[in-house]
Amino acid sequence: MANTFMCSLEEQLQLRDKLPSYYKRYVDDTLTVMKDEVSGYSFLHVLNDLHPTENTLPFLGMVLRKDSQNITASVYVKPTNTGLLLHYDSHVDNRYKKSLIITMLDQAFKLSLNWSLFHEERIRLKTLFLQLAYPEHLIHSIISNFITSKQSPAPPRDSTPDLQSARSVLPFKEQKSADCAQTVEGTW
């Protein structure tokens, strides 16, 4: 897809006779040589005119927005997203359903630059999970607990970690039940 997009941009640059004299590309990484800084900025404006961003840039699951002097970040939802996730009526253990909500909230919390943007994403997630038949009281409870955990101060960490004890979770083959788990504790 990246190659197709870049080829399309290059064709438009060639038609407008705006392709720099030295232009090399590998997939979506480009190298150009400009005679001066002004030429570089001019070429940047030509590129932005070919593919306007409207001051937004989707990047690694988030969207960066430029408003005057500030940049904000929030969760990016692709226009093709259908909202298809684990339905509440599916035959999956409830802990996975709860974990899905928590995971989505955690992603929203980490990618949102402020509480207002997190609130917007939280509303979107609540609507999404209601469409997937999740009980409203469950969604509300998980969201409330999540917000409380993020607002209350973290417990103080022990300044001297116990290096004598280690805990490892060992995966095992052919798990018969989702409720099974094995852990091994040992001393080093």
Give the total residue count for the chain: 188
Going by pLDDT thresholds of 50, 70 and 90, the confidence category of residue 90 is very high
Task: Identify how many contiguous H helices and E strands the chain contains and give both numbers.
Answer: 5, 7
Question: Is residue 175 scored above 60 in pLDDT?
Answer: no
Is the pTM value of this prediction over 0.85? no
Closest by Cα among 38, 43, 116, 121 to 77: 121
Going by pLDDT thresholds of 50, 70 and 90, the confidence category of residue 178 is very low
The predicted-structure confidence for 21-34, as pLDDT tens digits, reads as follows 888 888 878 888 88
